Structure 1
Amino acid sequence: MAQDEKDFTHGFGGDVAQAFANQVDYCRANGAPVTARAVAAIAAALDSPEPGPFLAHVRDWQGQPLADALPLRAAGALHALHLSGGEPALAPLYAGEAADDGAIVGDVLRRHGKELLPWLDGPPQTNEAGRSSNFVAAMLWLAGNGLPPRFECLEVGSSAGINLMLDRYRYDLGGMTVGPEQAAMAFTPEWRGAPPPDEPISFASLKGCDVAPVDLTDPGQALRLRAYIWPEHTARFARLDAAIAAANERAPDLVKMNAADFTERELARPQPEGTTRVLMHSIVMQYVPEEQRERIAAAMERAGAGATPDKALAWVSVEADRTMLGHVLKVRYWPGGGEWVTLARAHAHGAWIEWQAEA
C-alpha cells in the first residue's frame, strides 16, 4: 500500500498532523500524486523514535504548521535533495514507482537532516508564471468595467519576479488573445465559462517586492525554485527555464522589502493620469503577518478614497481557499465602492480558469 493511503494523523502533534493531512488532500485535488506521497511519507516518518534533527524540528514545530506551509517546506527540502542527485534512494518515489515511501524517506531525512534544516527557516518560494493568466484576466475585466486600461502593477510577495514579466507573455483566455506575438511564454489555460471582456490593455510599469527575493540568474537560487515545483507538473519546469531566459535578457523590477512597507511606499507615489494602479498577489497572504495584512488593507482603503476615474485603483487577489481545496480570483476597485468581487475559481498553477464573473 502506498504511504499516502495510511492514517498518519496520530502520534505526533495534532496541528502538525492535520497540516500534513490537509496538504496531502490538497495535492491530490490538484493533480500532484507524487507530491502527496512525499508529504505523506514525511508525516509517517515523524513518529520515528530516532527522527534526527530535521524530522524533530518538524514534529515539534513552534509556529502554525498550516499557515507556515510546513509540509511544503519539508517537501521542498526532500525534492531538492532528489534534484541535486544527492540521494538515489528517492528515485522510485519521484518516478511514481511503488516503494516503501515511509521507510525510504525516514531514512533519508535522518541521514541528511542537518544539511536540510535551513529549508525549514522560511516559507516556500512558489513563483509560477501560469498564475499571471489570472492577473491578465482580472485586468481585462477591470477595463471592461470602465477603469483606465493602462495598468501600473504592484506585486507583493513576488519571489523571483516571474509574474512581473507578464507583459512579455502571450495569453489565450477563452479565445481572447493578449500579449506580444514574439513572447517569452504562451499560456492557454483550459477556460470554463464565458470569456473575459474584449479590451485592449497595456502596462505603464510592473514592480514588486519580496522579503527574500530570488535571483533567477543565479543557478543555486533557481534550484530552490525548482525544488518547490511539484515534480509531476513537468510543464512548470519548462516555464521556469523560459522565465530564467527572460530574466537574463532584462531582470524584473524587484526590491527586497516587506509587503506592507512596499504597499504604503508605492501608494504614496504620484500616479500618472489615465492609469489604473493595481496591487496584486498570488498564494502569498498566508505567509504575510496579520499586522502587515491590516496595514495593507488600511493603505488600500486610504488610497481608494482618493481614487478618480482617471487615476483608478484596484486590488487583484489569487489566494487559496482550503475549504474547497482550490484558489479564488477576486478583485476590488475604486472608485466603485471597493467591495470584493469573485471573478473565477482557478487552478493553483494556471492549468484552468473557471470564469464566474458577470460582464
Structure 2
Amino acid sequence: MVGFDRGQTLAQRFRAHAGERTHLYGYLLRGMADDLEAGGPVGEVVRGYERAPTGAVIQLRLLAGIFRLVLTGRAPTLLPYYACLGGTASPETAWAVARPVVADHVGELRRALAIAPQTNEVGRSVALLVGLFDLTAATGTRRVRLLELGASAGLNQLIERFRVSGEGWTWGPPESPVQLRDAVLGPLTALGAGRAPVTPGPAVEIVAARGCDLEPVDATSAEGRLRLTSFVWPFDVHRHERLAGALALAARHPPQVDRASAATWLGAQLTTGPDPDTLTVVWHSITQLYWPASEIDAVAATLSAYGQEHRVAVVGMEYPPEGGRQEEPEVRTTLWTGTGAPPRNRLLGTAHDHGIPVRMAGSGPAG
C-alpha cells in the first residue's frame, strides 16, 4: 500500500498515490496535483483541507466525488473513460476532460470531501466462508449466528446467497448474481482440527446475521448504492460486477447493520445467547486497522470473558499487526469452548486485500 509523509503537501500526496500508474486514476491524480499547484479549480475544491491528516485520503474522496458525477449522468464527457460503465477510451487524455468538470462542480466536490471512503468488498466474504468451514468442521455445529463488526453495508452477511468455487468444489446457489470463481487456492483438507476433510455444501446454515458500523451504509437506498459504487475504482470491473450483484441481493434481503462501536455493540449482542445447537461467530475484515488500540482491546476482553462460559468463535481477515499493510491480510479463526480452556487459534491462510483469492496455508504461491 502507498505510504505518505505527514510533511507532504496535498499535491505531493496526490502524486505519491498515483506513482507511475498508467490507469485512469493515475492520470487523474497527476493532473489534479499539477492543477492544484497551478492555482486551478482543484485548489478551490480542496481549500481548507491542506492540513487534513494523511489518513483522510482527500484524493480518494475527490475521485469518488467525480465518479458520482459520472454515475448520475452529470459528467457525460468523462463516461468514455470509465470501464465499469462500458468506457474504452485511453486514460492519457482523461485529465484534460475532467478539469472543466471539476471547475463546473466546485461546490459539490467540496462537499464530497466530507464523505469518508467506504467500500464493502464482497470478495472478502470468501475468507468468512473458509472460516465457517473450519469452525463447523471443528465443532460439528452447522447452524451459525453471525455478528459482523465494522460491517459497512453488511453485504458479506449475504454469503449464503453467493456462488463460490475453489479447487474442485462449488458452494452456494448456481443462479446467484454474485459469482466468486477460483476464490480459494489450495485444498480445504486442513480445516477442522484433524476431523475429516471438509466437503463444501449446504451444511453451513446462517440462521441469523447482524452487524454494526460507526457509519453504516444503507445498501437498499439510492444514496447508499451510489456511495459504495463511487469508492470502487472504475477500472476494477470485476469488483463492480460483484458489488452490483450483491446490491441486487440486498434489495431483496436487506442486511441488518446498527450504528454503534464494535465493543459496545458486541457486548450487548452477547447478552442473548443462541440455541445450544447454534454457534455464534463474530466476523470482521480489514477494519481493525482503523480502530484505536482501546477498541481492539475492549473487543478482545469481551470475547475472552464471554468465551470462558459460552461457546463463541471469531473469523478475522486482517493485516498482521507486525507487518501492517505491507503484507497480505491473514485469515484466522479463534474458538472458545465455554469450558474455561484457552481458545483454539488457527491461521487458515492469507487473502488478497479485496478477498479473492484466499490462499490456504501450505498451498504455496499463486501460479
User: TM exceeds 0.5?
Assistant: yes
Helix, strand or coil: the match of 1:317?
strand
Helix, strand or coil: the match of 1:280?
strand
Asked if 1 retains the 8 angstrom alpha-carbon contact of 2:27 and 2:92, the reply is no
Other-structure match for 2:265: 262
Other-structure match for 1:125: 118
Give per-residue Cα distances to partners, 1:224-264, cap 9 Å, x unaligned. Answer: 11111221122333333322322222222222223232222
Asked if 1 retains the 8 angstrom alpha-carbon contact of 2:117 and 2:231, the reply is yes
Aligned counterparts of 1:103 and 1:69: Cα–Cα separation in 2: 23
Helix, strand or coil: the match of 1:270?
coil
Code of the residue aligned with 1:354 in structure 2: it is R
1:284 aligns with 2:287: yes
Other-structure match for 1:333: 335
Aligned counterparts of 1:337 and 1:19: Cα–Cα separation in 2: 45
Q: 1:222 aligns with which of 202, 211, 225?
A: 225
Asked if 1 retains the 8 angstrom alpha-carbon contact of 2:315 and 2:331, the reply is no
> What's the offset of the Cα at 1:126?
0.6
Instruction: Let me know the Cα RMSD of the aligned residues.
Output: 3.4
> What's the offset of the Cα at 1:134?
1.2
Code of the residue aligned with 1:284 in structure 2: it is T
Other-structure match for 2:132: 139
> What's the offset of the Cα at 1:332?
2.4
Asked if 1 retains the 8 angstrom alpha-carbon contact of 2:150 and 2:214, the reply is yes
More divergent stretch after superposition (311-320 vs 346-355): 311-320
> What's the offset of the Cα at 1:209?
1.7
Other-structure match for 1:14: 8
Q: 1:55 aligns with which of 46, 57, 61?
A: 46
Other-structure match for 1:204: 207
Q: 1:346 aligns with which of 346, 351, 362?
A: 351
Code of the residue aligned with 1:304 in structure 2: it is G
Aligned counterparts of 1:289 and 1:58: Cα–Cα separation in 2: 23
1:244 aligns with 2:235: no
> What's the offset of the Cα at 1:286?
3.1
> What's the offset of the Cα at 1:97?
1.2
Code of the residue aligned with 1:291 in structure 2: it is S
Aligned counterparts of 2:343 and 2:8: Cα–Cα separation in 1: 39
Using the size of structure 1 for normalisation, the TM-score is: 0.80
Matches within 5 A, 1:40-189: 40-50=30-40, 51-61=42-52, 63=53, 65-66=54-55, 68-91=56-79, 93-94=81-82, 95=88, 97-100=90-93, 105=98, 108-146=101-139, 148-189=141-182
Aligned positions, number: 339
Give per-residue Cα distances to partners, 1:38-58, cap 9 Å, x unaligned. Answer: 444444444343543432344
Code of the residue aligned with 1:292 in structure 2: it is E
Do the aligned partners of residues 328 and 79 (structure 1) sit closer, same or farther apart at CA in structure 2, a change above 3 Å counting?
farther
Asked if 2 retains the 8 angstrom alpha-carbon contact of 1:143 and 1:149, the reply is yes
More divergent stretch after superposition (254-263 vs 283-292): 283-292
1:33 aligns with 2:27: no
> What's the offset of the Cα at 1:356?
1.3
Matched residues, percent identical?
Answer: 25
Do the aligned partners of residues 182 and 96 (structure 1) sit closer, same or farther apart at CA in structure 2, a change above 3 Å counting?
closer
Do the aligned partners of residues 46 and 93 (structure 1) sit closer, same or farther apart at CA in structure 2, a change above 3 Å counting?
farther
Aligned counterparts of 1:16 and 1:266: Cα–Cα separation in 2: 42
Asked if 1 retains the 8 angstrom alpha-carbon contact of 2:219 and 2:250, the reply is yes
> What's the offset of the Cα at 1:298?
2.0
Do the aligned partners of residues 143 and 294 (structure 1) sit closer, same or farther apart at CA in structure 2, a change above 3 Å counting?
same
Aligned counterparts of 1:352 and 1:96: Cα–Cα separation in 2: 29
Do the aligned partners of residues 284 and 314 (structure 1) sit closer, same or farther apart at CA in structure 2, a change above 3 Å counting?
closer
Do the aligned partners of residues 44 and 291 (structure 1) sit closer, same or farther apart at CA in structure 2, a change above 3 Å counting?
farther
Structure 1 runs not aligned, ≥5 long? 1-8
Aligned counterparts of 2:132 and 2:362: Cα–Cα separation in 1: 13
Using the size of structure 2 for normalisation, the TM-score is: 0.78
Code of the residue aligned with 2:331 in structure 1: it is L
> What's the offset of the Cα at 1:98?
4.3
Other-structure match for 2:195: none
Asked if 2 retains the 8 angstrom alpha-carbon contact of 1:52 and 1:110, the reply is no
Other-structure match for 2:312: 312
Other-structure match for 1:4: none
Helix, strand or coil: the match of 2:47?
helix
> What's the offset of the Cα at 1:155?
0.8
Other-structure match for 1:5: none
Do the aligned partners of residues 286 and 292 (structure 1) sit closer, same or farther apart at CA in structure 2, a change above 3 Å counting?
same
